[in-house]
A and B are shown apart, each in its own frame.
Chain A
């Protein structure tokens, strides 16, 4: 062995394995090197600390050897037998020894017990097929009041991004970034539009000769994809964020499509999300949905307006300063239906505080157009208004009917309204059940805190 400043080879070996000459060299070095003396002592200290802790079964051989000297045996089993847990999930047969080891671990490890059960809970929530098309097919679009409202909005307001001339390589680079962002927005929108079929496309792109066919079913993905899940629950419509409320114009009625922010005495955790960072384009371009692929540094020649995803909230914040630009003469508007007029007038009356007039209009709507999409939404709107006005008895059947019809985008709000109505009516058993159902359906609901507090209070009586 050649001598070095620090004899790392000698330090790395078990002192009992060193020859007399090697031991003499090591001792001579340690006598004059305080750094190595300190590190040798620290290594022993760390080994002692590890001995007092749970040690994973994947320690290095050196660590295992060191720990064995202090009485800790590092075996092949992991602290958490992830492989056994995974094999059990996959339905593989375990040997008797493996089963015993797994059961023993689960008997002592509450974290693994919880995660094992929670995984089943999440699987039940996700459903069997993660790649199935999202809710919002063309058939559902007929009954979805939010889609009806958005279609009307899209007739009046279309997002566009205009081209401006650019020069230079840096400018073209920024154009490239803007094109990627704009293309991503367009693709997101057109994916959503394709999912809705051709009806919305025809409204938004009246100049096109024919609407594009919905995407063909694609080939299945790799066999290595995670196992399929059961059908997921329909999602509720989240409350509008502050940015989106500000982006709407005066004719928009946020209550028609989205649950309202909560009543005065509910605990709220609604927080506006951080704004999505949007690259500041120095040049913008519009891209035809069926145009041939465009290289990042090339300027597209055709232009069509970008659109909102019809079944999603407006993506105004993503488009930054261009969110309110409206190309003239792009889309023509159509006359609202009778049900739509009643609904719109009722909402207007409610907003200006004339609840008596609003209630009459909602009730006329429910009587005259019971099956209209607006009537479905009106049940929740009227129910909430009556509840806020102190008429829980009148509000309750409206929520019940909305939920018994299968619910829709305001199911969460209807469940909350139902529970609050029972609370106001003093029907403790029904109230508790209603809160539990709300939490079970929407564990991340903004109403969860209030629901849990009410359950606790009811339980303490």
Chain B
């Protein structure tokens, strides 16, 4: 059956040769085909691929840095260049848009840490955890903003691998399998990274007994 399928065209793309380690033929998406051509140095293919991945990369950077961050556009451009430069090393183990999104997330997380480090040297930040509740019920929008801020601030303080896993899994909403494929590690390693990051998050929340209620996540 594999021999019959090899080389046949499908709406999604052309069937590649059966990989030795797989029992079924691998169907390549059109974007994956495009990425391989681009990785070989084809400028037009690179341009077309950039057009396809730029929206998602931009959105990934924006949500990790936060809308209104002065870093957004610089980081988007850095991410796009990093993507182009990394294309020759792309092995096609995940979809190119996931590969690109991972680069965007890593670049954005690094930018967050850099800005956080610089601001700690020059500015006195208002520590969210020190803001006490007065008993009034904040709006759900306000709570959502604080929840997101807490998660994004966590990215500044945990190791890069954990930050990347948290960002891909919970900020971009990827599945564990997608995170594992994009980061090139087993699913159990992703679970491990998430566990460690959640432990850090739990400690952060428990430093302020009222925070869970303020964030709308009390039990």
Contact = CB atoms under 8 A, between A and B. Distances in A.
Contacts of A437: 141
A83 interface: yes
A109 interface: yes
Interface in A139-197: 180-181, 183-185, 187-188, 190-191, 194
B219 A107 contact: yes
B80 interface: yes
Nearest to A114: B217
Contacts of A134: 54-55, 58-59
A456 B63 contact: no
Contact of A114 (B65, B114, B147): B147
Interface string B87-130: 00000000101100000000000010011001100111110100
Contacts of A117: 144, 147, 215-217
A428 interface: no
B173 interface: yes
Interface residues of B, number: 98
B55 A267 contact: no
A100 interface: no
A452 B170 CA distance: 25
A37 interface: no
Interface in B175-210: 175-176, 178, 188, 191-192, 194-195, 198-199, 201-202, 205-206
A4 B145 CA distance: 62
A205 to B, nearest CB: 16
A215 B192 contact: no
Interface in B25-75: 29-32, 41-48, 50-52, 54-56, 58-60, 62-63, 65-75
B217 A130 contact: no
B173 A226 contact: yes
Given A215-B48, A238-B70, A276-B77, A453 B205 contact: no
Nearest to A318: B77
B81 A184 contact: yes
A65 interface: no
Chain B CB within 10 Å, residue with most, of A56, A58, A126: A126
Given A436-B142, A444-B65, A273 B71 contact: yes
A332 B202 CA distance: 60
B163 interface: no
Interface in A86-132: 86, 89-90, 106-115, 117-119, 121-127, 130-132
Contacts, number: 278
Given A114-B205, A115-B201, A446-B70, A293 B42 contact: yes
Contacts of B77: 188, 276, 312, 315, 318
Given A115-B151, A460-B134, A183 B43 contact: yes
Interface of A: 56, 58, 78-80, 82-83, 86, 89-90, 106-115, 117-119, 121-127, 130-134, 180-181, 183-185, 187-188, 190-191, 194, 215, 218-219, 221-222, 224-227, 229, 232-233, 235-236, 238-241, 267-271, 273-274, 276, 287, 291, 293-296, 312-313, 315, 317-318, 412, 436-437, 439-446, 448-449, 452-453, 456, 459-460
9 contacts: A90-B175, A110-B202, A111-B205, A115-B170, A118-B147, A187-B46, A318-B77, A436-B142, A443-B66
Shortest 3 CB-CB contacts between residues of A and residues of B = A444-B66, A440-B141, A442-B68
Interface of B: 12, 29-32, 41-48, 50-52, 54-56, 58-60, 62-63, 65-75, 77-78, 80-81, 84-85, 95, 97-98, 111, 114-115, 118-119, 122-126, 128, 131-132, 134, 136, 138-139, 141-142, 144-152, 166, 170-176, 178, 188, 191-192, 194-195, 198-199, 201-202, 205-206, 212, 215-219
